[in-house]
Copies of this chain bind each other. A is one copy, B any other.
């Protein structure tokens, strides 16, 4: 049984009224499947040719490693969609194995039918395009960050990004520990590098605010 009041909360159907959504669904083919706790919903490696949206209950996504063991990746609950990034593109396979962690109702829309939905309603189209574009942008940012090798470079990038064109001082909201985790380094290593950069006059630290006296000099760090 389709519950459009819930589905319209999903990122993909956001902004559509439950009634409109019901009307849209009446014009396509779809299934609502029920799973019991621990039932398998998708298997990693399986072809992804339909969009799955959790209508009721919660699931967990696990990845199978090379030795066959599974590692939990994330928990998802209604009304979230599954694997939106793998419905299109070159690699049309579920990257993860998904199983129910409670009684679950799953709306399953075959890819061609979902394409119809996208063409019928520009809001859905925009929502979906925004979802996967944002993901690509997020990944791109993350990748750029990781591309800086040394801790100094990561700090320089982080600070210059935060400062923008205008500001000369940056207010840090995270603890050193959180920053270190973002940077993928250990906390003492980050502290050491900050202290070194401070001694060299690259930055001036006062509690949670960091001043960059010479942005050009800081920028040099990103070159090598």
Contacts and interface: CB of A to CB of B under 8 A. Distances in A.
Interface string A116-146: 0011101001100110111111011011001
Given A146-B143, A146-B146, A137 B219 contact: no
Given A86-B137, A87-B133, A216-B67, A119 B115 contact: no
A65 B133 contact: no
Number of copies: 2
Contacts of A89: 129-130, 132-137
Contacts of A122: 115, 119
Contacts of A152: none
Given A66-B163, A66-B219, A85-B133, 20 more contacts: A65-B219, A66-B165, A66-B222, A67-B215, A67-B219, A86-B133, A86-B137, A88-B132, A88-B133, A89-B133, A89-B136, A90-B134, A115-B125, A118-B119, A118-B125, A119-B119, A125-B125, A136-B136, A142-B143, A149-B184
Interface of A: 65-67, 85-91, 115, 118-120, 122, 125-126, 129-130, 132-137, 139-140, 142-143, 146-147, 149, 160, 163, 165, 184, 215-216, 218-219, 222
